[in-house]
Amino acid sequence: MASFSHKLPFCTQCSTNQSGQKPNKHKLQCLKINGTKSFSPSKVDLLSQDHGIAITSVDTDENVHVFEQQVRQQIPTKKQLVDPYRQGMIIEEGVGYRQTVVVRSYEVGPDKTATIESLLNFLQETALNHVWMSGLLSDGFGATHGMMRNNLIWVVSRMQLQVDHYPIWGEVMEIDTWVGSSGKNGMRRDWLLRSQVTGLVFARATSTWVMINQQTRRLSKMPDEVRAELSPWFIQKQAIEEESPEKIDKLDNNARYVHSDLKTIPDEFLEKHQLSGIVLEYRRECGSSDMVQSLCDPQEDGMLKSGNGLLGGSLNQGPFSYTHLLQIKGKPKNEEIVRGKTTWKKRLPFPP
């Protein structure tokens, strides 16, 4: 592995050598790192007063890369109440999180309202920022320190989003998110999206998360140390009240619409309708090399029943409801990836 120089311009403390003299600071700032055994600094302790970051035994390219990530991210090690960079703050008596979001031009569709993809991205970002502010975030993507020690990662098992109104371009939203327990080994995360100016609720969402072993990809029980990390943040509050989640039926190849190119909703339909609700149930992982197939079947009540299905016949006022299935294609048994149910309503005329 080739040698290279790594600059540490913020290094402010240097130890003394055996003769009692301080070594050349410039040499420490241009620390030469080599991954081979022929050059291995025995122990280097560099502490930044500005960043509070220490490096110990920096003798490989990998260590330098990890160090650079820590400096660039500056993940809090303690609970933070306010995050000015992300316009976020801790609420709900110190356990919930609120973030202010402005809908940007690239997050809206032709009608100048936020797309469903943008709304889901908002949910993911605020969830991760909540963990960031908690001081529990390790170097995993949303994983706590205890999870990393046990080689565990989060996976979502169920997701539900209800949209009453879509925010428009330039609108300022407040997104609240919080977590709670789900059974013995799961966690629930909820969101509430509303207008900062009027308080109008745009959307509500809830999700269920479980842990899997990162190597074996098998479900795991929640270790005691992870439960101890998370339980102080749990709130007994739900954004979507439901006594028992609605069961989604499994489709087969007799579904009315079967597509392998993943385009299940025609553009003509999307121009006149918008998504008002979605429920997803995740069944298994999907690899980058997997060939997938999408199945879709309309609910009989209030759906188009003549012509070409989605587009033929006369449109009722809705809401329109569909059942979906995404499965791996080409396996002896078409293995389920995700089941879904969507609800649609007539789109209002585009603003000028």
199 and 263 share one domain = no
> Does residue 55 have a pLDDT over 50?
no
Range of 53's domain?
Answer: 4-73
Question: For all residues of the chain together, what is the average pLDDT?
Answer: 79
Residue 325 DSSP class? E
Q: What is the pLDDT of residue 156?
A: 94
The CATH number of whichever domain residue 326 belongs to comes to 3.10.129.10
221 and 108 share one domain = yes
Share of the chain above pLDDT 90, in %: 50
Q: What is the pLDDT of residue 317?
A: 55
Share of the chain above pLDDT 70, in %: 72
Neighbours of 291 (CB within 10 A): 9
Q: What is the pLDDT of residue 290?
A: 85
> Does residue 39 have a pLDDT over 90?
no
Amino acid at 344: W
> Does residue 256 have a pLDDT over 50?
yes
247 inside domain: no
140 inside domain: yes
264 and 330 share one domain = yes
Query: What DSSP element (H or E) covers 66?
Result: helix 61-73
Domain count within the chain: 3
Nearest 10 degrees: CA dihedral of 188, 114, 311, 328?
-40
More confident call, 247 vs 93: 93
More confident call, 3 vs 340: 340
103 and 49 share one domain = no
322 inside domain: yes
CA angle 130, 134, 137 (to 5 degrees): 85
What pLDDT digit, counting tens, does each position of 187-219 carry?
999 999 999 999 999 999 999 999 999 999 999
First to last CA, the chain: 60
63 and 93 share one domain = no
What pLDDT digit, counting tens, does each position of 124-139 carry?
999 999 999 999 998 7
207 and 339 share one domain = no
> Does residue 88 have a pLDDT over 80?
yes
The residue out of 73, 93, 110 marking a domain boundary is: 73
244 inside domain: no
More confident call, 33 vs 61: 61
> Does residue 178 have a pLDDT over 50?
yes
Cα–Cα distance measured from residue 68 to residue 66, given in angstroms and rounded to the nearest whole number: 5
Ranges of beta strands (E only) in the chain are: 4-7, 30-33, 46-47, 54-55, 82-83, 88-91, 96-102, 152-163, 172-182, 186-195, 201-213, 219-220, 257-259, 273-282, 292-298, 320-328, 336-346
Question: Which tokens belong to 15?
Answer: 């130890």
Q: What is the pLDDT of residue 139?
A: 75
240 inside domain: no
Helices (H), 201-343: 224-230, 267-272
Cα–Cα distance measured from residue 109 to residue 337, given in angstroms and rounded to the nearest whole number: 28
Q: Which contacts (CB < 8 Å, 24+ apart) does range 297-300 have?
A: 297/251, 297/255, 297/256, 297/257, 297/322, 297/323, 297/324, 298/256, 298/322, 298/323, 299/323
More confident call, 68 vs 221: 221
Amino acid at 332: P
Cα–Cα distance measured from residue 9 to residue 58, given in angstroms and rounded to the nearest whole number: 16
299 and 191 share one domain = no
> Does residue 271 have a pLDDT over 70?
yes
What pLDDT digit, counting tens, does each position of 329-346 carry?
876 677 899 999 999 998
314 and 226 share one domain = no
What pLDDT digit, counting tens, does each position of 212-246 carry?
999 999 999 999 999 999 999 999 999 998 777 77
C-alpha distances (whole Å) from 340 to each of 155, 157, 295 are 17, 12, 10
Q: What is the pLDDT of residue 261?
A: 56
For the segment 11-17, the average pLDDT, to the nearest whole number, is: 39
The residue out of 46, 73, 100 marking a domain boundary is: 73
Q: What is the pLDDT of residue 68?
A: 76
52 and 91 share one domain = no
> Does residue 108 have a pLDDT over 90?
yes
DSSP 188-204: EEEEEEEETTT--EEEE
The residue out of 73, 98, 115 marking a domain boundary is: 73
28 inside domain: yes
What pLDDT digit, counting tens, does each position of 290-327 carry?
888 889 898 865 444 333 344 333 444 556 899 999 99
153 and 268 share one domain = no
250 inside domain: no
Contacts of 1 (CB under 8 A, 6+ apart): 34, 35, 36, 60, 61
Q: What is the pLDDT of residue 224?
A: 96
Burial category of 56 from C-beta neighbours within 10 Å (exposed 0-12, middle 13-18, buried 19 and up): exposed
56 inside domain: yes
Q: What is the pLDDT of residue 10?
A: 32
Question: Which tokens belong to 351?
Answer: 């603003």
Burial category of 92 from C-beta neighbours within 10 Å (exposed 0-12, middle 13-18, buried 19 and up): middle
Query: What DSSP element (H or E) covers 25?
Result: helix 25-29
107 and 60 share one domain = no
For tokens 């025609």, the residue is: 266
Q: Is the dihedral of CA 334, 335, 337, 343 positive or negative?
A: positive
pTM: 0.70
Collapse the DSSP code of 229 into the 3-class scheme (helix H, G, I; strand E, B; otherwise coil) and give the result.
Answer: helix
DSSP 90-137: EETTTTEEEEEEEPPGGGB-TTSBB-HHHHHHHHHHHHHHHHHHHT-B
197 and 315 share one domain = no
Q: What is the pLDDT of residue 60?
A: 65
| Confidence grade of residue 92 (pLDDT, cut at 50, 70, 90) | very high
